[in-house]
Amino acid sequence: MSTLIEFDGVCKYYQMGDTLVKAADHVSFKINKGEFVAIVGQSGSGKSTCMNIIGCLDVPTEGTYLLDGKDVGKMSRRELANIRNEKLGFIFQQYNLLPKLTLLENVEVPLVYAGIPAAQRHATAKAALERVGLGNKLKNLPNQLSGGQQQRVSIARALARGPAVILADEPTGALDSHTSREVLGMLQDLHKQGNTVVLITHDNSIAVQAERIIRLEDGRVVYDGDAHAPEAVVQPNFMMAEPKAGEEGTQA
């Protein structure tokens, strides 16, 4: 299996007042082509930072991030935009559809930025919407749809360009349990079809749907392995001998 995503000592530091926040502190892992990985962590664990770096929305302060063998940290903003368009399919918690565009137009947006001619664009977008079972609502506006349906549109949009990585950021965060299962099932189907899926979540019950879990805490990787191993889902607080002061959920 070829490596698709390679984090090697990735750090991301922010200056907040006079304290240096280490959002990512020497994070290293590899994700192979065709894997279904969940990056798990509580808020402040650095999972969003990792997602932003994987998604080429941000570049590491230190360390290297290779996407498909290319060093993202050395890319210009123009190249980053290109690589987002070409290699990455985003699925967001808030769906992030453009409210004034029809479903078809929404799915076409990344195709427009790729400079694909109109006829081909329509066909590709239509096929992607049919794939998520919304082929009969091409001309609808996003607000005419339920949350689950909107998330399916955003999946269709993520698929439209045939990306190397599908990056799902809390895709079920705004959905009820029934539609959550539906969306997760869809991600699993995509994985089975050979797509690389990276799922970012704080929820263990969601994370276990993946085949591998990378758990982050305080900007460090604390677990990386099989999603079904018992230690994968253990709350990190219980694993620690001495909880840090001020940590969420700790007792004095």
- Minimum distance from residue 237 beta carbon to another protein (Å): 27
Pairing of strands 3-16, 70-71: unpaired
Q: Does 84 bind another protein (CB under 8 A)?
A: yes
**Binding of another protein at residue 100 (CB under 8 A)?**
yes
Q: Which is nearer to another protein, 174 or 233 (CB)?
A: 174
Choice from 14, 62, 70, 98 touching another protein (CB under 8 A):
98
Beta carbon nearer to another protein, 93 or 179? 93
Is residue 153 a contact partner of residue 104, using CB atoms and an 8 Å limit? no
Question: In angstroms, what is the minimal distance from the CB of 90 to another protein?
Answer: 5
Q: What is the edge-to-edge ordering of all strands in the sheet holding 19-32?
A: 19-32, 3-16, 62-67, 70-71
Specify whether the CB–CB gap between 183 and 195 falls below 8 A. Answer: no
Closest CA to 108 of 132, 131, 124: 124
Nearer of residues 108 and 217 to another protein, judged by Cβ? 108
Show the binding pattern over residues 156-175: x = contacts another protein (CB under 8 A), - = does not: -x---x--------------
Beta strands of 96-252 (E only): which ranges? 165-169, 196-201, 212-217, 220-226
DSSP, res 149: H
Planar angle of CA 46, 48, 49, nearest 5 degrees: 65
Question: With binding defined as CB under 8 A, does residue 13 bind another protein?
Answer: no
Q: Counting every residue, how long is the chain? A: 252
Give me the least distance between CB of 183 and another protein, in Å please: 19
Residue 150: closest CA among 182, 114, 122, 192? 182
Q: Which is nearer to another protein, 150 or 209 (CB)?
A: 150
Query: Does 239 sit near another protein (CB under 8 A)?
Result: no
Q: What residue ranges bind another protein (CB under 8 A)?
A: 52, 55, 57-58, 77-78, 81-82, 84-86, 90, 92, 96, 98, 100, 109-110, 112-115, 157, 161
